[in-house]
Amino acid sequence: MNRNFIKIFALSVVAVFSAFVASAQVRLPEGYFLKTLPNGLQVLVIENAKVPLTTIEIAVKNGAYTEGPEYSGLSHLFEHMFFKANKVYPDQEKFLKRTQELGAIWNGTTGNERVNYFFTFDRDSLKAGLNFMNAAIRFPIYREEDMKKERPVVDGEFQRGESDPYFQLWYNMQQKLWGDLITRKNPIGIHDVINTATPEKMMIIKDKYYFPNNSLLTICGDVKHDNAFALAESIFGDWANSGFDPQTKFPIPAFKPLTKTEYFVKEATIAQTPYMDFTWQGPSYPTDSAATVAADVFSTIVGLNSSKLQQALVDKGLASGVYVSYNTSRYVGPVDVFVVPNPNKLKECYAEVMNQVSMWSKDDYFTDEQMATAKAILHRNDIHAKEKPSSLPSQVSYQWCSTSLNYYTDLDSNYQKVTRADIKKYLDTYVIGKPYVAGLIIAPELNKTVNAASFFVAK
């Protein structure tokens, strides 16, 4: 017997067994059902009969984090090409005609740690919809004529971003925050890489990541899980397991910790309103999941109108907006403070931002009532987010890729358990006294007046 076959078979068995064990340990909300097919494909069914529709989504552990410079932006281009042609529908005209026959609403997204594709259609079209998804995910055709049309579309998204002062500031921040690994935090890509992409490069991406054991199929809506599982297995069951774990075979290089604080001032004529941004390297889910939860609670607290941050900056007229956020990630999530300063009080605004951040971990920076209010907001947001069945697959798959299904299930209850000590530990570990990147984008005319570089510097 062929030795390579034996090796692939053995690896497949190990991968499937591991997936079965993981499935058995998963906690899910009521009405959610999980099954791992023999080929390693995890199938999640969400029974939600609010409307007579069904949404199917396939999420793949792919995205910017898998891209070195030579492939930067190609996961995004791959996502666009998904909707072009495949073995069953060999050109886009036939593909689009089929979406119309199904009455489907469809789209895809590419982020740092996930690529997903989804269709919503009438509940009676579930089998037809799964067959349609199967053809697109497993049997794509990358025609040069289609790529010639789509490359400028994808690159055009990049160019539109470059015309936005916020994007310019963000991109410069990313360069300094992630250094030579910036491509792994930037799904939009690199112009030259996008514009010279070939069908061969598309196949390389497919052959590295597009396997059942690296994917989650979610079926949500007016369905019964037993029937949905049976259909999924009958249609996707012969999708061949890769015989390896893509996340292990193609390891992600570690993001280097910041060693020093760095400031910059960027002049841009399009920056009619100046923006300030401050970013720290925050927690990663695998190493500090508790901090990822505490980060969300703290961000919500300082977003309250009654918070010291908002009162000191917005209420006092130093800024029209200040926004604190953390982006939950498997690979180093950023902690960000974005400020829209009063152009006439730039120096005062900056000084007060630094003053506020220095006080964040003090015991009296927020009240018990504010923490309770923040938790109530997060609870309401969770309820609201789950009201629309067609949005549930995307919410679940984000966590499946970047955290876990247990994290998704427990997130709201874990918000309610966060203590002051948890928030202080998060801030002391990742923010207070830690290196960060600070950027200011400003119009040249305004900068001539204020000389931002004279005060926008590390203290």
Residues 217 and 323 in one domain: no
Q: Is the CB of residue 398 less than 8 Å from the CB of residue 109? A: no
Residues 267 and 165 in one domain: no
Report the C-alpha dihedral over residues 201, 197, 171, 321, rounded to 10 degrees: -90
Tokens of 431: 């923010």
**CA 114 to CA 166: how far, in whole Å?**
23
Residues 269 and 138 in one domain: no
Tell me, yes or no, whether 76 lies in a domain.
Answer: yes
End-of-domain residue from the set 226, 249, 272: 249
Residues 310 and 442 in one domain: yes
Rounded to the nearest 5°, which phi and psi values hold at 240? -70, 130
Tokens of 97: 């005609």
Residues 126 and 79 in one domain: yes
All residue ranges of the chain with pLDDT < 70 are 1-24
Q: What percent of the chain has pLDDT over 90?
A: 94
Residues 79 and 223 in one domain: yes
What's 340's domain CATH number?
3.30.830.10
Residues 219 and 140 in one domain: yes
* Beta-bridge mates of residue 55: 120, 220
Q: Is the CB of residue 248 less than 8 Å from the CB of residue 209? A: no
Query: What's 292-356 look like in SS3?
Result: HHHHHHHHHHHHCCCCHHHHHHHHCCCEEEEEEEECCCCCCCEEEEEEEECHHHHHHHHHHHHHH
**CA 154 to CA 148: how far, in whole Å?**
11
- Residue type, position 171, single letter: Y
Tell me, yes or no, whether 14 lies in a domain.
Answer: no
Contacts of 234 (CB under 8 A, 6+ apart): none
* Beta-bridge mates of residue 336: 279, 325
**CA 300 to CA 92: how far, in whole Å?**
44
Tokens of 363: 């015991």
**CA 284 to CA 286: how far, in whole Å?**
6
Q: What is the pLDDT of residues 196-207, one digit of tens each?
A: 999 999 999 999
pTM above 0.85, yes or no: yes
**CA 455 to CA 349: how far, in whole Å?**
11
Q: Is 62 helix (H, G, I), strand (E, B) or coil?
A: coil
Q: Is the CB of residue 110 less than 8 Å from the CB of residue 398? A: no
Tell me, yes or no, whether 2 lies in a domain.
Answer: no
Residues 340 and 284 in one domain: yes
Residues 295 and 151 in one domain: no
pLDDT value of residue 459: 80
Instruction: Give the orientation angle of helix 405-417 with respect to helix 392-402, to 10 degrees.
Output: 90
Tell me, yes or no, whether 329 lies in a domain.
Answer: yes
Tell me, yes or no, whether 201 lies in a domain.
Answer: yes
Angle (CA) 348-350-356 rounded to 5° is: 100
Sign of CA dihedral 22, 24, 28, 32: positive
**CA 360 to CA 309: how far, in whole Å?**
9
Structural domain including 349 reads 262-454
Contacts of 350 (CB under 8 A, 6+ apart): 276, 341, 440, 455, 456
Q: Is the CB of residue 313 less than 8 Å from the CB of residue 349? A: yes
